[in-house]
Structure 1
Amino acid sequence: MRASFWIRTCLSLCLALGASLAALATDYTITKAEWRAGESKLKVEGKGPRRSIVLVKDAQSGEPLGTATVDREERWKLILTAPPYVPCRVRAEFQGTTRFAERDVRNAPANCGGGTTVVLSSLALSGPSEIPENASGTFTATATFSDGSTQNVTAAAVWSEDSAYASIAAGVLSAGEVPSDQAVTVSASYTSGGVTKSASAGLTIRNVVALSSLALSGPSEIPENASGTFTATATFSDGSTQNVTAAAVWSEDSAYASIAAGVLSAGEVPSDQAVTVSATYTSGGVTKSASAGLTIRDVPPLVGSHAGRFTSFEGTRTCLQCHTDEALAFHGSAHYQWQGDASEVDGLDSPVAGKLGGINDFCIYPDINWIGKLTNVYGQQVDGGCGRCHAGLGAKPTPEATQAQLENIDCLLCHAPQYKRTVGLVNGQYRFVPDLAKMSVSLLQAAVDIHLPSSDTCLNCHTRAGGGNNYKRGDLEEAHRNATPALDIHMAPESAGGAGLACLDCHVAAGHRIPGRGIDLRERDTPTVVACSNCHGDAPHDSADLNKHLKRVDCTTCHIPSFAKGAPTDMVRDWSLPGDLDAVTGLYEPHMDKASNVSPVYGFFNGRSRFYQFGAPAVPGPNGKILMAGPNGSVQEPGSKIVAMKRHEGRQPMDPATNRLLPLKIGIFFQSSDINTAVAQGAAAVGWTYSGHTFAETERFMGLYHEVASSDQALSCATCHDQNRLDWATLGYTPVSTRNGKPLCSSCHGAKSNPGFFSLHNKHVGDKKIDCSNCHTFAKAS
């Protein structure tokens, strides 16, 4: 037993001695310490006892850099990627022993070291603010150090989130399905050099609205050689809808048609053809389809004046093949240029003037309100702009008759009664395009059925001047399409007792020029005067007394006793008041005071007019109102005649600094009733500095030429001479107070009673042949 004890003791001592000798034989070294700048890696290698832990530090600062484990071959390795800094020398400490080794870092940069000053300062997270359900989003953790350097530490950070609907790992947040939008907070922490920093970021997991269904809408039939537009509307799980026409994939099942972007183009068919139009749309991985049927109608043979002259209509280009001279003539007309010879007006700075370049008291300034689309209060897109009544295809007129300008003429507007048009985008610009949905025939049929303009053609634009039926003129309204003698004795049909005249019977056109210039029209198309005497002569009455009045009194004075006999007319337009919503159009109109059966005002007109010049300081007249347009003439001026007029009043924006009347972007007002924005943007559109606005009182005088009454409804002599319908003093008929230094009547005879106008006037003028100048400030008209 004693021998056994000694044997065990010796064996233990031998084993311990062997282990000690083995430990003494093991290398505790750093065999390599190298900085690889191109890879941003610090590589440290060495030897040590198997399975021991090696702590690598900055030899200068003692800051830990990392740990490594010795493998079976007694080798260890530590690789650091993009460390905060590069040490100049490293130290390896072997845990469980007091052994260590140091070595300089090969290829260390000149600024190596700094471990004592570069420490972790902060941590920041970046990532999406929202992601859809069943999707993922990636966050990045960026560490900032005390020397200002930053490092992407996404992989090394510890991540967490606070949602039952998501999980996160290595910065990637994976979201599941959510019952509603869910707010999630993502957090991360990172430790470097014994310093730990944390950061958080919020995001929302969106409850995705899924595509539920697709529906198509469009025409039930179209004529052959025409097109029809379909709309694809997607409905989503939340009940919302979206127009997806452009994004849908379209197809049709007919050999006689093709479809693209919802527009079905039909060719010629041998008989009526049934077509099924289909569309598919995909959203969020969900695809829905829909179909709609329509019929391509076999259209009867083309009929009309130009049938057989062409087989396809390519717009005005087709017309120009034969009618270039007519196009050139029309290009120079007032109806196309919206300007012309202004030699009969005063107050303007150019001999050429018209609607374009001129401001008015109705829709203000056409130049910056040409054509476009407006969104009404019902969310519908509707046509807008003054150019809707321009006989062009959407481009503004220019003086040069270029090919583009000639092709911009819309011949069909005046010559094709079945043609309709609307505003659409063509190559990114608003232009007029055929409105096939409102046409009862194909575009080709409309284009071959060419006519001279009818009264309806003229009324299409002129009844709605100023924005609505009879708003502007007061004597041109929709009722003229089927005029009665009570409305207009000239335009009523002969079968009803009228003259049966059409517009062009009085406004006799020549070379696409239309004669006639009203008091408030700047330009004239021709020097030809449209006058009653063109038909009725200079002595139309059986009474010589009536005929002699024609030297001073225009026919309209007696034969248009009232106007606006049907639709009320705009008498006062006040832009300072909130707009009035038109329930039919869904647009706001400026506030208007309208009236029907209005008695005219009267003034002298010598054939010349005066206007306010756009951009000039506005100077009020004696009555405090700025004259926009009015007649020249007076009782003293030979050739001047009393005419019947509509007097329109306005209250419109004016610059308080310059006293210029300001233009408006009227589309803004029509859509929102926002006058302030409309004025500010109007000033900007013409290059003026906007400095606020006030409202100025304006007035305009407009000649009355339509709604002529029958002869038995004309004013009687007594209406003017006994009932004082006319303002004689304003017209200049007030007698002088003295003659030859005596009171007027006493200058010839003693005191007598006034026998009344007719007796007094006939006695002095008829019997004694006394000239008007003896009692008035004017001489007898010659």
Structure 2
Amino acid sequence: MFSRNGSLIHSALLVFLGINLSIISTISFAAQKNTPITKTTSTADHSKFEELKKIFKTGPEVTKACISCHTEASKQLHKTKHWNWQFTNPDNGEVVGKKTVVNNFCLSITSNLPRCTSCHIGYGWKDDSFDFTAQDKVDCLVCHDTTDTYKKFPTDAGHPNYKEKAFPKGSKKIWKVADLSNVAQKVGKTRRENCGVCHFYGGGGDGVKHGDLDSSMTNPDKNLDVHMGVDGLNFGCSECHTTDGHDVKGSRYNPVAKDTHGIDVPGRDDNSRATCESCHGVTPHESTLNNKINDHTDKVACVTCHLPTYARGGVPSKMWWDWTTAGKKDADGKHIKMKNEKGYVTYVTKKGNFEWAENVEPEYAWLSGDVRYKQLDEVINPDEVVELNTFAGSYDDPDARIWPFKVMRGKQPYDKGNNTLVLLHLFGKDKAAYWKSYDWDSAISAAMKEGGAEYSGEYGFIETSMHMPLAHMVPPKDQTLGCSDCHSKDGRLANLTDFYMPGRDNNKILDTIGWLAIAGTLGGVGLHGLVRVLFARKRRMKL
């Protein structure tokens, strides 16, 4: 714990002020006395329902049977982000969601619906004619299947397979017909497997997008995730992401950066367990020699200390995506695919270059809950790294705390004439689709037209970044960060410079006070010793 000028003053101050947090237990009161969780058994055996003993030919037929009993289910889902892929932020009025947000993975869903909507909780959203009010278009099975046999076909706009066919087309990977009757008769409570079908594979593959969500979280041990570990609490996603009318709590579009309410009381609160504080409280650490760790919770999010690295379950996360190199073919005109030593794709003709990483230290930023996403008509500066989303917050903001993030970086096309972001038509049978023609101008023009956005006809490439808050892959408490991980010159918070932090920063006034305190202490000790020596001599002389 040295100051920037190399002095030892801050180490002394830290000890003197009791900020050496490593001696304090980080045991959570809420988690001290763990008791085994008994999983409840459903009161209904769906295999005995006559309505489900039919031979179903399509997914919507199953849904009609479901809502004959669960009469309000589809109407509830129609009001959710999972259904609409759109959300109006109540704090700033910004319209966000998969429908509108431009990212630095495959850019957007516009003009790519049959492919992207294989992760929609509905059937048939292939174009703008999709009826969002149709109750039978809701896919009940994707969230409630317990057989692990139900899969949406990758290019059929959310439908499962109704006849055997290969994917990718022309390959030997045959997708079998889904046994819809069997799946319908064995539905149950949502599990990690159900949520993970989409959320573990966001961005086009396992671990690509989120960093703290990948296939290793399907059956993790508690060292990977102390809450979801099958040898521990064995939580499902809905233990924290509770629901009310099928509306799942927790959102990266409107996150709760600081939950000052603390432990929720059933029947009195908002029925959300999507914050650490809702179970562990706002002062979760046991008081021992002092309570300094609890003093940090007003400025530091729980996961900042309790999530030291992400992508640590054996699945790397994609950190860089360079679209500028896409479209290359070999001497025979065939597509190129290159892999690293672990078998992960580092180049593919359709998408360009990638970089992957495991056991990644997060990047840190202030987060108050006010999130802004770069809009399609918003003017950008192409000479700088364009931040696709930004988070309000600072040390002086009482609502803000320091949070850990995965930051995705890459290069993607933009409108060079208007200096705006663009949409990109990737998937489709038409010649304008980039994966058909590898013509940037045609692909951008088609997507912008479908999205109702202006395109100058001139494109270029920009470097972008996108922040994604981290909250999963929390290890046991003995693997949390220590004091010096942050309270040091080159610690994890070195880039957050809007506040003074002992052990990292130096201040002339504090340095002077500190040195005077040390000098005074040493002088006092020396003077005291000298006086004792003199008096001892006098006593000996009298004798």
What is the TM-score of this pair, normalised by structure 2?
0.69
SS of the residue corresponding to residue 487 of structure 1 reads coil
Tell me which of 398, 405, 428 is aligned to 1:638: 398
User: Which amino acid in 2 is paired with 1:646?
Assistant: K
Tell me the SS of whatever aligns to 1:721: coil
Could you say which residue in structure 1 is the equivalent of 2:316? 568
**Which residues in structure 2 correspond to 1:188-337 (within 5 Å)?**
304-305=46-47, 307-312=49-54, 313=56, 314-337=61-84
Secondary structure at 2:82 match in 1: helix
Q: Which protein has the bigger strand share? A: 1
1:694 corresponds to: 460
Identify the residue that residue 238 of structure 2 maps to in structure 1: 504
Structure 1 position 679 matched with structure 2 position 444: yes
| Mapped pair 1:393 → 2:123 | yes
The answer to whether structure 1 residue 542 and structure 2 residue 286 are counterparts is yes
Q: Which residue of 1 aligns with 2:252?
A: 518
SS in 1 for 2:221: coil
- Quick check: 2:284–2:294 contact (8 Å CA) kept in 1? yes
Equivalent position SS for 1:597: coil
Contact 1:519–1:701 (Cα < 8 Å) also in 2: no
Does the 8 Å CA contact 2:224/2:473 hold for their aligned counterparts?
yes
Equivalent residues of 2:113, 2:127 under 8 A apart: no
* AA partner of residue 138 (structure 2): I
For residues 400 and 366 of structure 1, the distance between their equivalents in structure 2, rounded to whole angstroms, comes to: 14
* Equivalent residue, structure 1, for 2:101: 358
Give yes or no for the alignment of 1:408 onto 2:137.
yes
Amino acid at match of 2:82: H
For 1:662 and 1:322, locate their aligned partners in 2 and report how far apart those are by CA, in whole Å.
45
1:307/1:449 contact within 8 Å kept: no
Cα RMSD (Å) of the superposition?
3.4
1:673 CA drift (Å): 5.2
Identity of aligned residues (%): 28
CA displacement 1:681-738 (0-9 Å, x = unmatched): 32343354451211112111110001112111110011111363233453412489xx
C-alpha distance in 2 between matches for 1:513 and 1:671:
38
8 Å contact kept, 2:119–2:158: no
Q: Does structure 2 conserve the Cα–Cα contact (< 8 Å) formed by 1:574 and 1:652?
A: yes
Counterpart-to-counterpart distance in 2, 1:421 and 1:532: 33
Cα deviation, 1:562-596, whole Å, max 9, x if unaligned, reads: 11112111112111112563789997333222111
Alignment check: 8 A CA contact 1:358 1:613 kept: yes
Give the residue type in structure 2 aligned to 1:507.
Answer: H
Is contact 1:630-1:701 (8 Å) kept?
A: yes
Asked if the contact 1:434–1:443 (Cα under 8 Å) also holds between the matched residues in 2, the reply is no
The reply on whether 1:421 has 2:165 as its aligned counterpart is: no
- Whole-Å Cα distance in 1 between the matches of residues 323 and 404 of structure 2? 27
Deviation at 1:619, TM superposition (A): 4.0
1:332-357 Cα shifts (integer Å, max 9, x gaps): 1110111124124x5xxx55431102
What is the distance in 1 between the residues matched to 2:517 and 2:226?
39
Q: CA 1:690–1:318 in 2, change beyond 3 Å: closer, same or farther? A: farther
Following superposition of structure 1 onto structure 2, how do residues 37-52 of structure 1 map, counting pairs within 5 Å? none
- With a CA cutoff of 8 Å and minimum separation of 6, indicate the structure with the bigger relative contact order: 2
Q: Give, in whole Å, the separation in 1 of the partners of 2:178 and 2:132.
A: 32
Residues 422/662 of structure 1: CA separation in 2 closer, same or farther (3 Å cut): same
Q: What is the one-letter code of the residue matched to 2:515?
A: K
Change (3 A) 1:527 1:442: closer
Tell me if the contact between 1:306 and 1:449 (Cα under 8 Å) persists in the aligned partners. Answer: no
Unaligned runs of 5+ in 1: 1-302, 372-384, 737-742, 760-782
Change over 3 Å in CA distance of 1:318–1:587 after alignment to 2 = farther
What is the alpha-carbon distance in structure 2 between the residues aligned to residue 332 and residue 518 of structure 1? 18
Aligned-pair CA distance for 1:539: 1.8
2:160–2:178 CA contact under 8 A, matched in 1? no
The Cα offsets for residues 390-430 of structure 1, whole Å up to 9 and x where unpaired, read as 01102269899876x212111112122332332678xxxx6
SS at match of 1:665: coil
TM-score normalised over the length of structure 1: 0.49
**SS across alignment from 1:602:** strand
2:9 aligns with none
- The amino acid across from 1:686 in the alignment is G
Equivalent position to 1:451, from 168, 173, 188 = 188
Kept in 2: contact 1:340–1:353 (CA 8 A): yes
- Compared CA separation, residues 451 and 746, structure 1 to 2 (3 A): closer
Aligned residue for 1:532?
Answer: 276
Matches within 5 A, 1:558-637: 558-565=305-312, 566-578=314-326, 581=337, 588-619=350-381, 624-637=384-397
- Once the two structures are superposed, residues 471-490 of structure 1 have per-residue CA deviations (whole angstroms, 9 ceiling, x without a partner) of 11001010111212332222
Q: Does 1:733 align with 2:499?
A: yes
Distance 1:547 1:618 in 2: 41
Q: Distance in 2 between matches of 1:328 and 1:632?
A: 35
Greater alpha carbon shift after TM alignment, 444-453 vs 687-696: 687-696
Change (3 A) 1:307 1:657: same
Question: How far apart, in 1, do the equivalents of 2:150 and 2:467 lie?
Answer: 35
* 1:752 equivalent in structure 2: 515
CA distance in 1, matches of 2:99, 2:281: 36
**Structure 2: segments with no counterpart, 5+ residues:** 1-44, 165-174, 257-269, 328-335, 428-432, 522-543
Pick the structure with greater CA Rg.
1
Instruction: Indicate conservation of the 8 Å contact 2:193/2:218, yes or no.
Output: yes
Query: Which digits, 9 at most, give the CA deviation of each residue in 1:630-674, with x for residues without a partner?
Result: 221100111211111111112111111111111111224445655
| Native 8 Å contact 2:378 2:420 kept in 1 | yes
Which AA in structure 1 matches 2:74?
A
